[in-house]
């Protein structure tokens, strides 16, 4: 049995209460305003200056990102750090009814729990509160709470970086235990291909047609799928097209992706995919239009970086071991790194994210909060 002190007992109750309050507020992507209001109020109460940028307008959502900082006059003289979490959660994420099952918080089973990323919000808010109890004057701190992270990091992509001073950032948003640090993540490129053939009657004059489906199939069988090498994956996720059984298919639209920790490999694989479609189109007399867009760029943090130096210390203070891991998914850390803020992702203990089985233990929620507090205090 776990023995906890009275203080610890109170802390656990406080964090569970705060967590449940926040997950009960609906916050699917593009609809984060209500939760943004609640978090903004919390930040103001904690003494932050808070502004909301215009990212919401740019991406068609009802809220921008929150950018908060402790007033400079009230801070000690050190370099600022940035803490980040996101407001949105994947569907089904409305009407979340959290329940405590032993030490574990779960949803009622028909929605996600929203620990991704409410656990990050709680860790930061409660972490500031905890740090304040230890020390009234804190080192400089910036907090960024993003929208639309789950939609290709759109919030952090449209964040107004001119408002930030930090050169070191910590993103509280990884489905790993507290202590795990995501020190690198891949470049993620989306590609779309339109294969355009020629329609004809499939039974009367098929010889006049050029089948876009057959042309696309020729390319699909040749391009790489899955793991291309240890650092690179490729996929085609959707194929749509065709009008009817009796028409030689004129048009097929394909959407796929390439991820790689090595930008040169990503570029090479994309070129290979583009070339396959172009060659097959040439052979059949169809046309292939290929378009690629980079959703976010890779990052890899150096062992001697300030971020890892601070973390080594803070994670030790929480009584955990620091474990460095690479991820094959993107987080807001990708965008921060691309904008000159050296940032890592942090495990905060939620499990089975993006499913109705999502959960988090109170123990991890407590550890994530203590980690935030230690980072804030640089202790
Ligand atoms: Zn997340």
Tell whether 333 is covered by a domain.
yes
The rounded Å distance from CA 117 to ligand 1 centre is 5
CB half-sphere exposure, 259, CA atoms < 13 A: 19
Domain end point (choices 296, 323, 351): 296
Query: Do 193 and 175 share a structural domain?
Result: no
Domain end point (choices 296, 316, 336): 296
Query: Do 176 and 323 share a structural domain?
Result: yes
Query: What's the pLDDT at 1?
Result: 47
- Number of structural domains the chain divides into: 2
Query: What's the pLDDT at 318?
Result: 96
State the catalytic residue, choosing from 28, 32, 88, 116: 88
Residue 227 tokens read as: 């793991």
Low pLDDT (below 50) residues in the chain: 1
Q: Is pTM, for the whole model, over 0.75?
A: yes
Query: What's the pLDDT at 3?
Result: 57
Using alpha carbons, list the distances in angstroms from residue 344 to 22, 51, 84, 215, 337.
Answer: 24, 24, 10, 43, 9
Tell whether 158 is covered by a domain.
yes
Q: What are phi and psi of 10, to 5 degrees?
A: -65, -40
State the catalytic residue, choosing from 28, 40, 142, 149: 149
Domain end point (choices 244, 276, 296): 296
Tell whether 222 is covered by a domain.
yes
Query: Do 258 and 210 share a structural domain?
Result: yes
Query: Do 176 and 50 share a structural domain?
Result: yes
Query: Do 14 and 113 share a structural domain?
Result: yes
Q: Could you list the beta-strand ranges (E) of 87-231.
A: 99-101, 104-106, 141-146, 168-174, 180-185, 187-196, 226-229
Query: Do 155 and 97 share a structural domain?
Result: yes
Rg (CA), the chain: 24
Residue 154 and residue 12: Cα distance in Å, rounded?
33
**CATH code for position 96:** 3.40.630.10
Q: What 8-state DSSP symbol labels residue 140?
A: P
The rounded Å distance from CA 332 to ligand 1 centre is 9
The rounded Å distance from CA 157 to ligand 1 centre is 15
Residue 148 and residue 30: Cα distance in Å, rounded?
6
Query: Do 283 and 363 share a structural domain?
Result: no
Q: What are phi and psi of 54, to 5 degrees?
A: -100, 25
Tell whether 44 is covered by a domain.
yes
Query: Do 246 and 104 share a structural domain?
Result: no
- Domain range for 276 is 188-296
Catalytic residue at 88? yes
Catalytic residue at 229? no
Query: Do 76 and 198 share a structural domain?
Result: no
Tell whether 303 is covered by a domain.
yes
Tell whether 1 is covered by a domain.
no
Query: Do 161 and 70 share a structural domain?
Result: yes
Query: Do 232 and 317 share a structural domain?
Result: no
Residue position matching structure tokens 């940028």 = 53
Query: What pLDDT, in 10s, does the model give residues 317-369?
Result: 999 999 999 999 999 999 999 999 999 999 999 999 999 999 999 999 999 99
The rounded Å distance from CA 180 to ligand 1 centre is 15
Query: Do 121 and 167 share a structural domain?
Result: yes
Beta carbons of 330 and 84 less than 8 angstroms apart: no
Residue 313 and residue 70: Cα distance in Å, rounded?
23
């Amino acid at each position: 049995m776990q023995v906890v002190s009275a203080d610890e007992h109170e802390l656990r109750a406080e964090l569970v209460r705060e967590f449940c309050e926040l997950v009960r507020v609906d916050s699917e992507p593009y609809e984060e305003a209500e939760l943004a209001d609640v978090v903004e109020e919390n930040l103001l109460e904690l003494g932050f200056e808070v502004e909301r940028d215009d990212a919401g307008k740019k991406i068609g959502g009802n809220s921008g990102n929150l950018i908060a900082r402790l007033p400079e006059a009230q801070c000690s003289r050190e370099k600022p750090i940035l803490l980040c979490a996101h407001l949105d959660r994947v569907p089904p994420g409305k009407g979340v009814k959290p329940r405590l099952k032993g030490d574990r918080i779960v949803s009622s089973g028909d929605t996600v729990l929203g620990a991704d990323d409410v656990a990050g919000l709680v860790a930061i808010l409660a972490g500031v509160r905890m740090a304040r109890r230890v020390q009234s004057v804190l080192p400089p701190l910036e907090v960024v709470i993003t929208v639309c992270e789950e939609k290709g990091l759109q919030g952090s992509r449209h964040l107004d970086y001119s408002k930030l001073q930090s050169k070191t950032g910590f993103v509280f948003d990884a489905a790993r235990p507290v202590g795990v640090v995501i020190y690198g993540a891949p470049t993620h490129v989306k590609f779309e291909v339109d294969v355009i053939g020629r329609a004809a009657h499939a039974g009367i004059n098929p010889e006049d047609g050029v089948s876009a489906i057959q042309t696309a199939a020729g390319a699909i069988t040749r391009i790489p799928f899955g793991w291309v090498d240890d650092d690179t994956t490729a996929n085609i996720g959707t194929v749509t097209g065709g009008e009817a059984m009796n028409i030689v298919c004129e048009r097929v639209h394909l959407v796929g992706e390439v991820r790689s920790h090595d930008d040169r490999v990503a570029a090479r694989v994309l070129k290979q995919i583009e070339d396959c479609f172009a060659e097959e189109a040439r052979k059949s007399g169809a046309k292939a239009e290929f378009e690629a867009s980079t959703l976010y760029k890779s990052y890899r943090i150096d062992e001697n970086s300030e971020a890892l130096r601070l973390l080594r210390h803070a994670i030790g203070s929480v009584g955990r071991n620091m474990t460095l891991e690479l991820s094959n998914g993107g987080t807001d850390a990708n965008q921060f790194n691309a904008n000159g803020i050296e940032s890592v992702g942090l495990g905060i203990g939620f499990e089975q994210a993006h499913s109705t089985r999502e959960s988090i233990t109170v123990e991890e929620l407590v550890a994530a909060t203590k980690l935030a507090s230690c980072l804030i205090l640089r202790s």
